[in-house]
Amino acid sequence: MVIPKKILVMSLVVIVLGVGAYFLFIRPAPGSNDNPAGGEAATGAGSSVSNSGGQPEAAEAQPLAVKAVPAVKGDLVIGLKSPGEAFTDRMVIVKAEVGGVIKTLNVTEGRHVREGELLVELDEREYRLRLEKQQALRLKYLSDVLLEKRFAGPEIKASQETLDRVAKAKSAFEDAEARFAKGLIPRLEFENAQRDYELVLIESGGRREEVMASSKNLTQSEIDVKIAQMELDKTRIMAAFSGIVTDIKVSPNEHLSAGRELFTLVNISRIKVKAKVLESEIGKMKVGREVDVRFAAYPGKVFKGVVDAISPVVNADDKTCAVHIAVGNPTEEIKPGMHAEVEIAAEIYNDRLLVPQDAVLTRSGRKLVFVVEDGLAKWRYVEIGVENERFVEILDGVKAGEMVIVEGHFTMAHDARVAVRE
């Protein structure tokens, strides 16, 4: 009888499937208890043999190496992040207040200068001559007033009280003059002593009305002297504060006109950062709050600052409010114009029980931590409160001082033996 070809093919397929099923499901796997060699291998890896009878015993599992930290009481800070930009409020463009030729230029780009240091000196000869002219004219008017007072009428003998006033004013003037010459007092104090002495001299005789009428030219002359002195002083340009010179725009021996820009003086020992905070968050901002400031130029480095001021005005375009942050910059690493990322302490929860975020796991929708007790990892369900990026508040389930596992516990079982590594 001839067997059809189709039946032969189907029979062959059934045989192949049967052989495959035998090897997959029926034949014992290498290393199983049915295989002696496999049994010996298992015994060597997972059990031990007693010295007395050779019977296998279960090997003691090695403890898992974990990292643990104590749960501690502390303040939990909720930070608010915002972009910002560094600037300084101590930066001035120094200009010439009078015209003239630069005689001395004591500045170079990037040079540090001290407050009161001479930076630029103009040729002062013209201004000094002008001052001397005004001083001579003033002396002439003063002499005229004194002569008019003396000969305008019968001389009135000064009382002893008046003479004492004159002597006292003269002594004060001479003392101020000597101290001013040594640089011990400012010019204003010297000028006040000089004026007081001259007024006492004029008032020490009679017919004061005529004297005051004749002293109009003297008064104007005194004003002209002060103006000339002020212009002479402006030929010497001093540093208004300690800082760094930059953006120099003049050269020695250059002729300047009044108002010409000379250079910029900037102090960056203390920097401010202007951050933008949404109006919905501005109520959480308070002056004096701590701020962490990071700059792209210094990755991984955190600068500490404090909220210095909060703008009273909300920007109508982006609905943000400017917050000014003061940051110490003693090494002058931070430069005005640098982009910053700031994290402001918006909310502070005091005296809370805290554990690191890495300690908290979620299993079956519930929060838990592993606590180390006598070398064993104990599974604890916990109730959590407020949290930030680093810490979680524990309301129930853990006590202060207990060691919670923060590394090596993701697949850990309850009562697993553990060894805390340093």
Helices 160-181 and 187-203 cross at an angle (nearest 10°) of 160
Domain spanning 79-89+267-350, CATH class = mainly beta
Between these two residues, 219 and 46, which has the higher pLDDT value?
219
CB 275 within 8 A of CB 293: no
The H-or-E segment that residue 379 falls in is strand 376-381
CATH of domain 94-120+239-263: 2.40.50.100
Closest to 326 (Cα-Cα) out of 306, 349, 346, 297? 306
**286-300 confidence digits (pLDDT tens):** 899 999 999 999 998
Decide: 245 and 109 in contact? Cβ < 8 Å: yes
**In Å, what is the CA distance from 150 to each residue of 94, 204, 207, 257?**
51, 11, 9, 47
Residue range 314-345, pLDDT digits in tens: 999 889 999 999 999 999 999 999 999 999 98
Domain ranges of the chain: 5-48, 66-75+351-420, 79-89+267-350, 94-120+239-263, 125-233
Rounded Cα–Cα distance for residues 271 and 254 (Å): 34
Residues 66-75+351-420, CATH architecture: Beta Barrel (2.40)
Q: Using CA of residue 220, residue 225, residue 229, residue 232, what is the dihedral sign?
A: positive
> Rounded to whole angstroms, how far apart are CA atoms 317 and 295?
26
Contact 346, 284 (CB under 8 A): yes
Which residue has 């000869």 as its token pair? 125
* Distance separating alpha carbons of residues 331 and 337, to the nearest angstrom: 17
Q: List 323's β-bridge partners, or say none.
A: 275, 310
At 50, the pLDDT band (50, 70, 90 cuts) reads very low
3-state secondary structure of 11: helix
Decide if pLDDT at 213 tops 70: no
Q: Residue 148 has what pLDDT?
A: 61
- pLDDT (tens digit per residue) in 69-95: 999 999 998 888 999 999 998 999 999
* Reduced 3-state DSSP string for 67-124: EEEECEEEEEEEEEEEEEEEECCCEEEEECCCCEEEEEECCCCCCEECCCCEEEEECC
pTM over 0.75: no
Q: For residue 37, give the 3-state DSSP assignment.
A: helix
The answer on pLDDT for 144 being more than 90 is: no
Helices 216-233, 125-151: axis angle to 10 degrees equals 160
- Tell me the one-letter amino acid at 99: G
